[in-house]
């Protein structure tokens, strides 16, 4: 396929593949669309082909393709801890659920571990833009740069999250109330229960 113009049938095929699988690398490989072409298509797709590309309108919206709901739980703080993640597409359909047992950790460490789990999976899925939703006000404000990170256990986790976030074309992180994050919370607790916690 030529590097410049992409034929309409290839555009439709690429967008359909991306919409169905939310896997950018796979969509490019299967359709022959290059990375620069894919970037341009994603910018123009919503206007050129309404309804083809999953929409996403979190608070302020930035064209995100995936919504990441993250939560960490610790029984004892520190105590047996787990991370839970729910990943949804633009239509609000859950495409991935992740759980991870963390051993003994604080609640704040568990929150960061859940965020890292979500970011690594979103990168693996090839999403260029993401919207993150978490009920940890501390973590959200630290990622936004509103709070400093002084706890020595959180500093490496914060740095790793920052590095992963720089790999996306765009992202936003939003604080939500616990009741709006119940599914991720349930998964975090399942991780602990599954380890005999």
- Please indicate, yes or no, if residue 61 is contained in any of the structural domains: no
Over residues 151-163, the mean pLDDT reads 96
Closest alpha carbon to 134 in 194, 183, 78, 81: 183
pLDDT digits (tens, 9 = 90+) for 107-149: 999 999 999 999 999 999 999 999 999 999 999 999 999 999 9
168 and 93 co-located in one domain: yes
CA distance 16 to 170: 22
Full domain range(s) for residue 101: 66-194
The reply to whether 33 and 113 lie within a common domain is no
- pTM, full prediction: 0.69
Residue 58 within any structural domain of the chain = no
Which tens digit of pLDDT belongs to each residue from 62-105?
445 899 999 999 999 999 999 999 999 988 899 999 999 999 99
CATH of the domain at 114: 3.30.420.10
Q: How far apart are CA 41 and CA 128, in angstroms?
A: 12
- 37 and 76 in a single domain? The answer is no
> Sheet harboring 170-175: ordered strands across?
94-105, 79-88, 66-75, 129-134, 170-175
Whether residue 124 sits in one domain with residue 31? no
Mark whether 15 and 74 lie in a shared domain.
Answer: no
Phi-psi region of 21 (alpha: psi -120 to 50; beta: other; left: phi over 0): alpha
Q: How many structural domains comprise the chain?
A: 2
Asked if residue 118 lies in contact with residue 54, where contact means CB atoms within 8 angstroms, the answer is no
Residues 174 and 80 in one domain: yes
Asked whether residue 1 is assigned to any structural domain, the reply reads no
Is 179 within a domain?
Answer: yes
The answer to whether residues 147 and 112 touch, using CB atoms and an 8 Å cutoff, is no
**Can you give the pLDDT at residue 20?**
59
Same structural domain for residues 118 and 176? yes
């Amino acid at each position: 396929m030529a590097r410049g113009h992409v034929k309409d049938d290839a555009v439709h095929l690429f967008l359909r593949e991306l919409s169905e699988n939310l896997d950018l690398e796979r969509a490019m490989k299967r359709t022959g669309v290059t990375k620069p072409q894919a970037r341009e298509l994603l910018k123009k797709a919503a206007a050129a082909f309404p309804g083809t590309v999953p929409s996403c309108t979190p608070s302020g919206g930035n064209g995100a393709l995936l919504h990441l709901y993250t939560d960490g739980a610790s029984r004892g703080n520190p105590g047996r801890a787990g991370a839970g993640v729910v990943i949804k597409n633009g239509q609000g359909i859950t495409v991935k659920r992740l759980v991870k047992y963390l051993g003994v950790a604080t609640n704040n460490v568990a929150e960061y571990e859940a965020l890292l789990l979500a970011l690594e999976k979103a990168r693996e899925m090839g999403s260029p833009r993401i919207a993150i939703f978490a009920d940890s006000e501390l973590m959200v404000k630290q990622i936004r740069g509103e709070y400093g990170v002084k706890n020595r256990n959180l500093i490496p986790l914060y740095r790793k999250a920052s590095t992963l976030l720089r790999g996306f074309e765009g992202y936003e992180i939003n604080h939500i109330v616990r009741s709006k994050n119940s599914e991720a919370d349930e998964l975090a607790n399942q991780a602990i229960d599954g380890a005999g916690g």
